[in-house]
Chain A
Amino acid sequence: MLETALYFIQQLLNGLTIGSTYALIAIGYTMVYGIIGMINFAHGEIYMIGTYISFIAISGLIPLLGIEYLPLILIITLAVSMFISSTYGWAIERIAYRPVRGGNRLIALISAIGMSIFLQNYVRIAQGSRDIAMPSLIQGGWSFGPPEGFQASLSYMQLFIFIATFITMGGLTLFIARSRMGRACRAVSEDMKMAGLLGINTNRIISLTFVIGAALAAVAGLLLGLYYGVTNPYIGFIAGLKAFTAAVLGGIGSIPGAMLGGLLLGVTESMTSAYFSSEYKDVVSFGLLILILLFRPTGLLGKPEVEKI
């Protein structure tokens, strides 16, 4: 009985860990969609670039500066990674999306897919296609349960992922709800033309959206990079697909939806592996997506799109 409960708790924790990072990436998709109604397929690649920058910063920059205090290492890496990834996010918008924004939505979509392929190959050429590995920085954790039977465990790394994710998401929610820029974001999302007429610089707000999305992807890049300890130029594609699914599941365009969708997807995957078979985890999670879209086409927390006249 105890063992069954511990096993369930363990799988729940595993699912929440992976789910919270899906959620971080999903926010990038959902924010861009919420504001300009476009799916930024290059977003997964930003996450991949984020892992590379974190790895480079940790293994190159930090020894150069001679820092050994772990929290400081993490803060510097996070700052560097968020800054550079945001620059990528901003540049992608300027180069690939802004010039085609007025046209058909499909053009922007193709441009995004092209950008994604470009970034993947650019990193492949620059960094090589092999897996790059890094030793774990945050080790250890707690175990619960009888010493001879099954023990549930929570590693410090997992806890760090939860805390970092919730702080980041809380910060973002506050920013959108309370700040002047956040209010402008919401206004542009509601009606871009009207917001422009009322004196909001819509181009700047759209750039800001990309920058925020990229910064969150960089946070996810650092967290998952540290957690798994490996990266390669292809991880962005699958992570992007999963995060996109999470965003759609929660209702694309809705920030709380992306969080909920990410966690739900992570827990579903983990539970499928736990009680069924890991072969079918993608089948079940994408099956769930189809079911939800059949019965709630706008996703869990999405609002139906009102035709603006």
Chain B
Amino acid sequence: MKKVNKKLLGFSASLMMMGAATLSQAETLKIGLAGPVTGPVAQYGDMQMIGAQMAIAKINEAGGVNGMQLESVIYDDACDPKQAVQVANKIVNDGVRYVVGHLCSSSTQPASDIYEDEGIMMVTAASTSPDITARGYQMIFRTIGLDSHQGPTAGNYIADKVKPTKMAIIHDKQQYGEGIANAVKQTVESKGVNVVMYEGITAGDKDFSSLIAKMQKEGVDFVYYGGYHPELGLILRQSAEKKFTAKFMGPEGVGNKDLSAIAGPASEQLLVTLPPSFDQRPENADLVASFKAKDQDASGAFVLTAYSAVQIMTDAMKKTNSTDTEKMQKAMREMTFKTPTGDIQFDEKGDLKNFDFVVYQWHADGSKTLAE
């Protein structure tokens, strides 16, 4: 039953793609924007969508690509791996051949299998799990750094600047959270930091009082959390209620304004590793003004990485003077792109050659400042 379905799907997909390829000559080039439009982490999806849509608007204003206009099509995966696979199949069926997304690593991973098989180019602006590009795929790129970079950045900062006496590492048992927690654990342990607790929690849980009591009993003075903001927000809030005063640190998945809404004043306890604030670069002043004119916020961690994701694809189309993803991916591994996130190059795996994360101090009003 399943096999027949797959074959049918593949057949109809290839039919659709042929149809789309001929159509697109005359009409528009569709770019799929896949990520969470709904669900608890939808605000990250928003960042990606506004960044990519701004890029599409700017490129269209400048005359499009090779005489064609771009068109965005939004797909909602709700950061759910099962839904991400459905979305990927729908993208195949819709004849879309370029995807910016997905957002959550656990969604990007299964979806990228389908894109690779179908020759669809996927550029993620937010997924940081190293596994995604570790499988020798040709069509999968990313315009953001990796957990294996972010982890050491966080770990080195903890070991060199914070110097905790007893550290706890907590993660949410998902690909992203556990992956980064592991990377941090390795770094800090190699530098001799005393990790007294390493524990997983369940994403979606609301009560962390037992965990907090346990950390209090162990005398933990620093906590690294691998995961997203809804859980960390609650952990911070409940810690403050229980007068547990340790400092916390998290990856870019916790750094957004909703965290401050949940945790309130307790968010002053938090350090976050984030991509550098690309919106602060002087070169981007005009672009940031265009976002402001639309009443959008360019400071979100994935806004300009998504902008770059669209731009590298269109630059590659211009360079190869074709829309063939096979030609594009070869060119992309050799080109240097001038994007709002800097001059970027890709390595063989499709990862950026250099990408540095920066440590920020988070604040109760949802803003951030560079941590010393």
Residues of chain A touching chain B, judged by Cβ–Cβ distance below 8 Å, are 3, 7, 10-11, 14-15, 17-18, 124, 128-131, 133, 135-136, 139, 141, 143, 150-151, 153, 155, 157, 224, 228-230, 232, 234-235, 238, 269-270, 273-274, 277-279, 281-282
Contacts and interface: CB of A to CB of B under 8 A. Distances in A.
A228 B217 contact: no
B241 A131 contact: no
A277 B199 contact: yes
Interface in B165-208: 173, 199-202, 204-207
B371 interface: no
B214 A139 contact: no
A14 B209 contact: yes
A269 B40 contact: no
17 contacts: A7-B213, A14-B213, A17-B209, A129-B38, A130-B40, A131-B40, A131-B233, A141-B241, A153-B243, A155-B242, A232-B40, A234-B40, A235-B206, A269-B210, A273-B211, A278-B210, A279-B200
B258 interface: yes
B237 interface: yes
B262 A131 contact: yes
The 5 closest A-B CB pairs, nearest first, are A273-B210, A279-B200, A14-B209, A133-B261, A133-B262
Interface of B: 38-40, 42-43, 173, 199-202, 204-207, 209-211, 213-214, 216-217, 230, 233-234, 237-238, 241-243, 258, 261-262, 264
A207 to B, nearest CB: 31
B246 to A, nearest CB: 14
Report which residue of B217, B230, B233, B261 has the largest number of chain A beta carbons within 10 angstroms of its beta carbon. Answer: B217
Given A130-B40, A224-B206, A270-B210, 7 more contacts: A15-B210, A17-B209, A130-B258, A133-B261, A150-B216, A229-B234, A270-B209
Given A124-B38, A228-B206, A133 B233 contact: yes
A279 B201 CA distance: 5
A234 B261 contact: no
A228 B210 contact: no
Contact of A130 (B43, B173, B237, B243): B43
Nearest to B201: A278
A148 to B, nearest CB: 10
Report which residue of B38, B205, B209, B262 has the largest number of chain A beta carbons within 10 angstroms of its beta carbon. Answer: B209
Contacts of A228: 206-207, 234, 237-238
A96 B199 CA distance: 43
Contacts of A230: 206, 230, 233-234, 262
A232 B210 CA distance: 22
Contact of A136 (B40, B214, B241): B241
Contacts of A3: 217
Nearest to A158: B209
A278 B199 contact: yes
Given A18-B207, A124-B38, A135 B213 contact: no
A229 B207 CA distance: 11
Contacts of A224: 206
